[in-house]
Structure 1
Amino acid sequence: MKKIIYIYCVVAIMSLSFSQAQENTQDFNFNWEFKLSQDSVATKELMLSGGDWEAVRLPHDWVIKGSFDSANYDTAPATGYIYGGGIGWYKKKFDLDLSDAEEAFILFDGVYNNSEVWINGQYLGFHPYGYSPFFYDLSEHLHADGKANEIVVKVDHTRYADSRWYTGAGIYRNVSLIVKNKLDVPIWGTFVTTPKVTAASAEVAAQIQVANHFGKTHKGTLTTQILSPAGEIVATASVDFVLKAGEEQTINQSFEVASPELWDIYQPNLYRAVTTLESKKLSSSTTTTFGIRQFKFDPNTGFTLNGTNHKIKGVCLHHDAGLVGAAVPKGVWRRRLQILKDGGCNAIRIAHNPGSNEFLDLCDEMGFLVQDEFFDEWDNPKDKRWNQNERSVDYVTRGYGEHFQEWAEKDLKAVMLSHRNHPSIIQWSIGNEIEWTYPRNADATGFFNNMDWSGNYFWSESPYSPEKIKEQLEVLPKGKYDMGETAQKLSDWTKEMDTTRPVVANCILPSASHLSGVGDALDIIGYSYRRVLYDYGHKNYPNKVIMGTENLPQYHEWKAIMDRPFISGTFLWTGIDYMGEIRKPWPTKGTLSGMLDFAGFTKPSYHMMKTLWNSEPHIYLATKELNKSINRIDEQSGQLVAKNPKAWETALWVWHDVNNHWNYVPGEIVSVELYSNCESIELFLNGESRGKRTLDEFEDHIYKWGVPFEAGELKAVGQLNGQTVEQVLRTASQPVAIQLTIDETTLQADGYDVAHVVAQLVDEDGHPVKSEEAKITFDIDGDLRMLGVDNGSGTSTQDFYANEVVTNQGKALFIVQSLKTKGDATIKASGKDLTSAQVKLEVE
């Protein structure tokens, strides 16, 4: 009997980014002070007694303001050549008067990492994991005499290469102060699902915890109203309750919503459940934003959302975002996600650790499907400098594996409680590429420990049959921990919290994982770079759902999925370039497999995937000197062809080197590649046709022409389903000016809103110059916060936190953020021998 996984909508999240929004939740990000120390034994008292505290606001990543330095090579693969070690100290004074009926909590959405917290000198606790949310009860330790309270946070990142990959350091996610009645819904105490969904109606189920922290019995009424996306009340339910002192109770409410507006990738409609609790003179409310939707994974037909079959067109993302590091403003993520969305992406795998609630808010609002991943290592550690080869067990690389036995259940459940109300989440991933940390699993395949990154691992099945692998797993020593048992434990914890979503893992050795007990623990087995095993997996395990969960941003990956209805989709590695995992020498600072670069500018692979993931016509023009290209002129036909006509079938992470300009030596032959979904394209040089070609002529999905260079205009005109689209490159002369564009001209004076300013070199005719570089200096006139600069290049080692930058392909990015002051502001860009430019902003 085949296994079908049915999932009926889960909830989303609220405006305050913490799963349930409380009317008495306060933004606690402002007015902090910070000090960085390299003294690992200094006491809290010693640190607080000293001066030199820096005023900061949260979220805050102390690492990203550092400089790239080749001297940091020892940890470069993990950190990106920026040293991030040390112990960070944060402190904040605040006033808070609680009544006898109230209690107060501080909620951290993420602190990287090994944090300790004190309030008014009283120790609250230790939290090692940098990616899970946590909170403390402050109530008993607050001053009651009008004296200001002081909270102190210690962040120990002396293990500065302890995760894969760039982590940043500090209180890098949002913090909230929550004041609640002692009779109230606890933090993360609401869970909304929709067990039954049709076009005519949806059943909404709310599971609500109520806690009585008074010293006597209380009774009251709990009322929940369901509000439509337009804010209209569409359903209401009330229930009376009685709670003894110290008692907690779960109340279940059910609602019927007629003609529901479904959440999906095209129309991410969001409802709200407003829960009000009243008892005598006490009253409080909690708002949970959720989406109504249903989905299923089928081992034969793939993924279906709201009754429609979809391919998951996903990308993997790390939590850093270029010049802002790990402390990413919501607007920075919004810009990046919108670019990915415009390219056809509909899903995000948050790799390899849980994301922030603010990031998930955006996925809810923008219509992204999400795989939320808990851990990158389990019982045994990984060396964060290199994949697989555990070259050292030194102090700086020891990460979460040191805490896994004690903390895994607590962290997994905290993440789920905090995240479970996001409709975007469709999968819980219990781990990423864990197999190589358990030698038995690696050895059982017969080839993994001799893996050649360019050869057999990607393109060959295991030399052992399933029977042989099973036999090996039975005789090879398990070691202290068994991977299958750990996977089952993690899966059980996950299903204890939520059965509305499937459990998945990203398996780099699926041939062994199917048989080691890992497959039994999973609803879906994710294949990491093993698309060659899709048919193998479907044949040998026909009732198991399989899909790609880490794959290459290349045409052959997507073709393999489109040719197989039983594969739900993929998550490509990666959506955006990220810091760390360096495989090339200095000055490379990160992994360059992204479809967007460090600045969020699109790369050739983005345009290839856009032509595969969209039905709207699209053309991207790429050029290269013929002698430097992957192409050649065929002697018989005179046409441009690939030097290796089968190379596209085994292309790996990084796209081959091409340009997006028309500036070459007169008469030299230029390789012209067009990435397009058009049925046919005609290429023109200065108005003269260079011929018309059809897409079905090119097995690798890349149009090709060999064109003798002549200054002027290179234009491609394509046709798709009766639509015409054009793409033009023009020869540019020397840059004489800077052209500025800005994505926002009005910012809110909230201290969060951001604007992205893009500077492009242009010639005297206004044509973009992409083959010359220049230094650009940005200046701000007005009350704005500078976040920094970037040119997107993976080999640029210029400081991010600066106001000047040398361009890459004639372009650079400058990001500013509002303060809490209103008024007009002007951003000016200037450079030597360049006409300057400026843009204006209004902060209101």
Structure 2
Amino acid sequence: MPVPGDALPRPLPIVDPSRIGFDQGWLFHEGDVVVPPATTHEETYIRAKAGNARGAAAIDHDDSDWSPVTLPHDWASFQPFVETANPSQGYRPRGIGWYRRTFRLDAADEGKYLELQFDGIATNATIWVNGSIVAHNWSGYNSIYIDITPFARFGDRTNVVAIRVDAEAMEGWWYEGAGLYRHAWLAKRAPVAIVTDGVHCDPRRTGDAWHVPVTVTARSIAAAPADVVALASLIDPAGRSIASVRSAPVTIAPLEQADLALSIPVPSPMLWSVEAPTLYTVVVTLERGGAVVDARHVPVGFRTIRFDPAQGLFVNDRPVKLKGVCLHLDHAGVGTAVPDALLAWRLERLKELGCNAIRCSHNAPATAFLDLCDRMGFLVMDENRNFNPAPDYMAQLEWLVRRDRNHASVILWSVFNEEPMQGTAAGVQMVRRMAAAVKRLDDSRPVTAAMNGSFFNPANVSTVVDVVGFNYYPGDYDKFHALNPDKPITSSEDTSAFMTRGAYATDAAAHVLSSMDDEAAGWGETHRSGWAKIATRPFVADGFVWTGFDYHGEPTPHAWPTIASFFGILDLCGFRKTAYDIHRAGWVDDAPVVGIAPHWTWPGREGQSIPVLVTSNADRIVLSLNGRIVGDAAVDRLMGNSFRVSYAPGILEAIAYRGGREVARAGHETAGAPAALRLTPARRVMTGDGEDVQPVTVDAIDARGRHVPNANLPVRFAVVGAAIIGVGNGDPNSHEPEKGDARSLFNGLAQVIVQADAAPRGTIVLRASAPGLTPASLRIDRIARAAGPQVAPAVALRTIDGWRRSPLLPARPDPALAPADGDNNSWAFVRSGTATPAEAAGGWQLYRARVAPVRAVAAHGGRIVFAGVAGRAELWVDGRKLADTGGPATGPIDVALPPGAGERTVLLIVRPEPGQPSGIVGPVEIRPLDAR
């Protein structure tokens, strides 16, 4: 088993100091909330007005029985597997869901620019703020930035965000999850500020000289023209300022934006590379009137990229063969709601593999993912989801480029994956427009497209991209290169081999596929042959294996009960398949490696011939069984070395030699019956910030402490000081829940993902038990680290904000007086907290509102509280008088509200004092009995 490390994940960089986390305090309702149709003219009229959404989008909707959740949240990952559900989506129902969140804005925030940001919502979303629709979004992969400044409320008045998510809408043929599966943020900025993704500062080299061209896009919501200046500073990895430059002043008109341009000269920077991912930081500040009003901190790397049609990719003028994988970003137990620390762990697994490149298949990844790639030294093909140059879809592509163009890791923009129109004149025109849009925003990286054929059609998109992406078709590499010697080529997708982790013989009836690298899709190759065809062709810049990890959905080549893929080098949990050692042999150059498959625990097969595969990057390998040599061969680094060994219990070992000297060895020892469980963490330390997570491996060991590779038995978990957020075992045929406290071992392994409590120093204790086995206990230190700032959730009290106010009446009105249906003019629409201007003469006014209290108040009663009423007033509810202020002085009303179901009619009859403001001069709340 791997030795756990103690390294803690470093916090990701704070790029935008103006934004605050918005992940906590959400309420979730699974299923739609249907609003009954309007039945009157007045009701229809009101619903058509801003701020008057009904149903779950309404400010006053009763969400008291909704479930509390913290983002990221993928509600599909909680669903059972259902045979009638979509197989590509992993046989999990998705449907429609609602989210709501209540929060307050300080009075000091009034006048600021306020923006809600959602990093990703699966899939189609409608978003309301305080009862008004503020955004529609049609993709599950792009971020949504929403200016909520016009809709915000301040001080004691709460704000309500409501989101309806339609996850029935599908964009892909893989598991896409459902809901608010990435982070959310609230940005609070000065009236004149830098726009989101408004700094472009990708370093460039001209000859031998480097510089950082900086473009700053600023926006103003101020009432008058504003003069601003931008200052840009370059900070080296040690935190020292290298250079600073100031832009010329620019005037921004009200409600407009403008660009400020400047350039930082850099004589001889340290270069960013896969081996040494050195990052600098560009700090940009925006000044108005000599004061800093906004800032951004953008990590950048100095590196050059060049795709040569004959020799492949050059990074910093050095040839680099891309040893890449394609990734979907779901994981066992958590679906698409993958915490940042788990993203880092997954990338660490790939780094150990020798992987240096990742294709984001087939959509924009999380921002945190690219931040980690920058820091860890991966090269990334950043891929657009929807192939369409129409305005809505072009906006998605342009967002992708603006967001990601400063990342050192990003080296290619891919505008599509496997589109049927790729070999048509229409497809050519579509790509021309999309590529031009990319180049307008970033001219430093080539544009590619992942084609699966049509390379030789008279009209095909290879003619209008910078680099041609081959999805499979290795037999056409040479022909295409001969016909197009000036066009660089990548293998944007290859392999598509099948393996069930821990299984070494195919059983088609059981949907089990051998891990001996002899099973592949009809369009694909085995891991060995796929890489061999790329490695031996210098003009093919890379290989991107389909896929790095198994993923939910697309259960090829089998369907139900299979619910996940078999393609990964690692399984759904990140456990290694034989493909891991195959690729280490082909990809790792700086250290000796050797791997051996299968395991060596085969009771009942004594004397039978067992196929053995040894993979290594050394010169020679020797295979021994119980100290006796049973194989000796020169290493075939690309295809590995195959042997057949007569099974006998004991130790099967492969020893790798280089220059006649032993440099590595690997082996398996026959295990006995399972006797105990073992827990192995990825780290021995976690941070008590409520955000840190890590996967813990559970396996069975025999009486001598040896891993039992064929153990398949149920395990139950318990934890103190943390929470279990997911479980898995890598079995693509398993229908066990991925939430909860239990999971069976599959071929010897299972995984439990724990999230540390938000608490100071302490100890996390995880226990695992199984019938008849000695249980395991694991202690993990929890150290103090403050979580990032979060917008505090607020208690959603039922308020009465909207009233109909009668004209001034000469006599006290009957409480039954109301405007006629359809009369939307003679009675004013007014808000709580807005005083009625002073009248010269006396009279009476009637305020009417209808409100549905929350369930607890409807059932048990509560209190109705007016913070302030000016003038003599009577309060009536449902035709019953509850209070009388008795005098003209401004003051509160706080009385008991009797129980009652459904909407309640609230009336306030006010007699203004002549010459004095009157009416409802403060907020109005309906409180439960136990609320203060």
TM-score range for the pair, normalised by the shorter chain length:
0.7 to 0.9
Is 1:682 aligned with 2:656?
Answer: no
Cα distance change, pair 244–364 in 1 and its aligned pair in 2 (3 A): closer
Instruction: Tell me the residue number matched to 1:573.
Output: 546
Secondary structure of the equivalent of 1:797? coil
Cα distance change, pair 42–359 in 1 and its aligned pair in 2 (3 A): farther
Instruction: Tell me the residue number matched to 1:503.
Output: 447
CA distance in 2, matches of 1:723, 1:503: 46
CA distance in 2, matches of 1:345, 1:291: 20
Output one character per residue of 1:167-211: Cα deviation in whole Å (capped at 9) or x when no partner.
Answer: 10111111111011112211111001222167x752111111233
Q: One-letter code of the match for 2:450?
A: N
After TM superposition, the structure 1 = structure 2 runs for residues 488-499 of structure 1, keeping only pairs within 5 Å, are: 488-499=432-443
Following superposition, the deviation at residue 238 of structure 1 comes to: 1.5
CA distance in 2, matches of 1:501, 1:547: 14
Instruction: Tell me the residue number matched to 2:791.
Output: none
Q: One-letter code of the match for 2:269?
A: P
Is 1:825 aligned with 2:764?
Answer: yes
1:741 to 680, 702, 710: 680
2:241 to 220, 223, 233: 233
Contact 1:755 1:817 in 2 (8 A): yes
Looking at both structures, which has the greater relative contact order when contacts are Cα pairs under 8 Å and sequence separation is at least 6?
Answer: 1
CA distance in 2, matches of 1:361, 1:155: 27
Q: Greater shift after overlay, 604-613 or 20-29?
A: 20-29
Contact 1:90 1:154 in 2 (8 A): no
Instruction: Tell me the residue number matched to 1:807.
Output: 745
Q: One-letter code of the match for 2:477?
A: Y
Contact 2:493 2:546 in 1 (8 A): yes
2:579 to 589, 605, 608: 605
Is 1:732 aligned with 2:671?
Answer: yes
Cα distance change, pair 723–544 in 1 and its aligned pair in 2 (3 A): same
Instruction: Tell me the residue number matched to 2:368.
Output: 358
Contact 2:332 2:727 in 1 (8 A): no
Q: One-letter code of the match for 2:611?
A: S
Secondary structure of the equivalent of 1:187? strand
Gaps of 5+ in 2: 1-9, 38-52, 496-525, 785-932
Output one character per residue of 1:680-733: Cα deviation in whole Å (capped at 9) or x when no partner.
Answer: 11122111222422225x9x7232222222111111111134452111211111
Contact 2:688 2:758 in 1 (8 A): yes
Secondary structure of the equivalent of 1:169? coil
Secondary structure of the equivalent of 1:407? helix
CA distance in 1, matches of 2:663, 2:36: 68
CA distance in 1, matches of 2:70, 2:568: 30
Cα distance change, pair 345–16 in 1 and its aligned pair in 2 (3 A): closer
Contact 1:91 1:153 in 2 (8 A): no
CA distance in 2, matches of 1:730, 1:779: 31
Is 1:90 aligned with 2:90?
Answer: no
CA distance in 2, matches of 1:144, 1:824: 41
Secondary structure of the equivalent of 1:557? helix
After TM superposition, the structure 1 = structure 2 runs for residues 646-665 of structure 1, keeping only pairs within 5 Å, are: 659=599, 661=601, 663-665=603-605
Gaps of 5+ in 1: 1-13, 380-403, 442-472, 624-658
CA distance in 1, matches of 2:666, 2:219: 62
Instruction: Tell me the residue number matched to 1:539.
Output: 482
CA distance in 2, matches of 1:694, 1:804: 46
Contact 2:231 2:245 in 1 (8 A): yes
After TM superposition, the structure 1 = structure 2 runs for residues 32-111 of structure 1, keeping only pairs within 5 Å, are: 32-38=26-32, 45-47=54-56, 48-72=61-85, 75-76=86-87, 78-99=88-109, 101-111=111-121
Instruction: Tell me the residue number matched to 1:693.
Output: 633
After TM superposition, the structure 1 = structure 2 runs for residues 239-258 of structure 1, keeping only pairs within 5 Å, are: 239-246=247-254, 247-258=256-267
Instruction: Tell me the residue number matched to 1:184.
Output: 193
Secondary structure of the equivalent of 2:630? strand
CA distance in 2, matches of 1:244, 1:780: 56
Cα distance change, pair 36–538 in 1 and its aligned pair in 2 (3 A): same
Secondary structure of the equivalent of 1:358? helix
CA distance in 1, matches of 2:298, 2:203: 14
Is 1:596 aligned with 2:570?
Answer: yes
After TM superposition, the structure 1 = structure 2 runs for residues 300-319 of structure 1, keeping only pairs within 5 Å, are: 300-319=310-329
Contact 1:133 1:418 in 2 (8 A): no
1:26 to 20, 24, 31: 20
Cα distance change, pair 162–207 in 1 and its aligned pair in 2 (3 A): closer
CA distance in 2, matches of 1:22, 1:30: 19
Output one character per residue of 1:429-462: Cα deviation in whole Å (capped at 9) or x when no partner.
Answer: 0000002x57xx4xxxxxxxxxxxxxxxxxxxxx
After TM superposition, the structure 1 = structure 2 runs for residues 246-645 of structure 1, keeping only pairs within 5 Å, are: 246=254, 247-280=256-289, 281=291, 283-375=293-385, 377-378=386-387, 405-435=390-420, 441=423, 482-512=426-456, 515-552=458-495, 554-583=527-556, 584-615=558-589, 616-623=591-598
Cα distance change, pair 712–417 in 1 and its aligned pair in 2 (3 A): same
Secondary structure of the equivalent of 2:73? coil
CA distance in 1, matches of 2:166, 2:664: 55
Instruction: Tell me the residue number matched to 2:789.
Output: none
Is 1:172 aligned with 2:111?
Answer: no
- The list of structure 1 runs, each at least 4 consecutive aligned residues, that deviate by more than 4 angstroms after superposition, is 14-17, 38-44, 98-101, 659-664
Secondary structure of the equivalent of 1:362? helix
CA distance in 1, matches of 2:111, 2:63: 38
Following superposition, the deviation at residue 98 of structure 1 comes to: 4.2
CA distance in 1, matches of 2:102, 2:753: 27
Output one character per residue of 1:508-563: Cα deviation in whole Å (capped at 9) or x when no partner.
Answer: 014246x4241232001101111111111111111111121010052222222222
Cα distance change, pair 502–260 in 1 and its aligned pair in 2 (3 A): same
2:161 to 147, 151, 157: 151
Cα distance change, pair 201–358 in 1 and its aligned pair in 2 (3 A): same
Identity of aligned residues (%): 29
Q: One-letter code of the match for 1:233?
A: S
Following superposition, the deviation at residue 112 of structure 1 comes to: 1.0
Contact 1:117 1:125 in 2 (8 A): yes
CA distance in 2, matches of 1:545, 1:415: 24
CA distance in 2, matches of 1:255, 1:573: 41
Q: One-letter code of the match for 2:260?
A: I
Q: Give the TM-score normalised by structure 2.
A: 0.74
Following superposition, the deviation at residue 378 of structure 1 comes to: 3.1
Q: Give the TM-score normalised by structure 1.
A: 0.82
Is 1:756 aligned with 2:756?
Answer: no
Q: Greater shift after overlay, 208-217 or 768-777?
A: 208-217
Secondary structure of the equivalent of 2:258? strand
Instruction: Tell me the residue number matched to 1:460.
Output: none
Instruction: Tell me the residue number matched to 2:838.
Output: none
Cα distance change, pair 427–821 in 1 and its aligned pair in 2 (3 A): same
2:708 to 763, 769, 774: 769
Which structure features the higher share of helix residues?
Answer: 1
Instruction: Tell me the residue number matched to 1:446.
Output: none
Output one character per residue of 1:467-496: Cα deviation in whole Å (capped at 9) or x when no partner.
Answer: xxxxxx6xxxx7xxx211111111111111
CA distance in 2, matches of 1:94, 1:571: 47
Superposed CA RMSD in Å reads 2.1
Secondary structure of the equivalent of 2:202? strand
Cα distance change, pair 282–310 in 1 and its aligned pair in 2 (3 A): closer
Q: One-letter code of the match for 1:364?
A: D
Q: One-letter code of the match for 2:708?
A: V
Contact 1:197 1:293 in 2 (8 A): no
Following superposition, the deviation at residue 244 of structure 1 comes to: 4.2
Q: One-letter code of the match for 2:77?
A: I
Contact 1:105 1:137 in 2 (8 A): yes
